Amino acid sequence: MLTRRVLGKAALGSLPLWGRPDSRIQGVQIGVQSYSFRDRTLDEAIQAMVNAGLGLCELAQGHIEPRLDRSSPASRAELRKWRTTVSMEEFHKVREKFRKAGVLLYAYNYSFRDDFTDEEIARGFEMAKALGVKYITASATLTSARRVDPYAAKAKIYVGMHNHSNLKDPNEFATPESFLKAMEGASPYTAINLDIGHFTAANYDPVEFIGRHHEKILTLHIKDRKKNQGDNVPFGEGDTRIREVLQLLKQKRYRIPANIEYEYKGGDTLAEVRKCFAYCKQALA
């Protein structure tokens, strides 16, 4: 069975990217979570990635799924119907868009929650295969992670559980222990998508955690937040140890994509993502 490290090397090192742009800096792969371009259509977001010089993408489900009011029961039912009936040809088309743009589609962000039916869970892995990715990232819960693990093992697709900073809900991923609890007794396909900004806001150290658990980390989300549930802020203005995290990846040669997730209040989306990328470049100089 291929390990996450072997697959990561294939995606990030020994196999060439489909083309330009190549945003590997000092051996560290900088990418982008497409949520950073949430104000744009998928086509516009892909073009923005090219314009910013970012060659790897973690695709947010919001760039594919219909935009509905998910607080409405009727809309939730409509979304469930779409997920369970949409043709995989739609995902093949998305894959082709990235191929033509020369941007490596690395992971699909499909957030399993407790209200997902078994069919919705299974379809997530079909979508990932149709997109040609080996990784799913998910803002999931601990209870949904347990349900997802057998599907991940069957599909041989890794699922990185994404953390936020909500320390009040024990069913949410927020603490180091929540990740360890989810992986205990699970298959190797249950893994980690560490958001270093949220981790910092919850008063944990991402550098220490990555050093201990890098083998289980599929991707990083790079953002800056202040401690004690502080705000998202421009890179370099918060408490998140972005520079140290990137230097750790460089020095230890951890083949973990560092995906920019622009979430602070800023101006033009593309201009802000470019600033984030420039900060990462400088941090790796």
pLDDT of residue 122: 98
Rounded Cα gap, residues 216 and 189, in angstroms: 9
Q: Provide the residue range defining the domain that includes 243.
A: 4-284
The CA distance from 275 to 220, in Å, is 18
- Residue 98: CATH number of its domain: 3.20.20.150
Find the helix packing angle between 142-155 and 118-131, rounded to 10°.
50
pLDDT of residue 68: 82
The pLDDT value recorded for residue 17 is 44
Count structural domains, the chain.
1
pLDDT of residue 19: 54
Integer angstrom CA distances of residue 47 from 53, 65, 258: 10, 19, 20
pLDDT at position 157, please? 98
Per-residue pLDDT at 23: 97
Predicted pLDDT of residue 18: 44
Per-residue pLDDT of the chain (285 residues), as tens digits, is 344 554 454 445 433 444 578 999 999 999 999 999 999 999 999 999 999 999 999 999 999 999 887 778 899 999 999 999 999 999 999 999 999 999 999 999 999 999 999 999 999 999 999 999 999 999 999 999 999 999 999 999 999 999 999 999 999 999 999 999 999 999 999 999 999 999 999 999 999 999 999 999 999 999 999 999 999 999 999 999 999 999 999 999 999 999 999 999 999 999 999 999 999 999 999
Taking Cα atoms as reference points, which of 45, 249, 218 lies closest to residue 137? 218
25 three-state secondary structure: strand
Closest CA relative to residue 193, chosen from 218, 173, 174, 211: 218
pLDDT of residue 70: 72
Closest CA relative to residue 219, chosen from 35, 19, 15: 35
pLDDT at site 158: 98
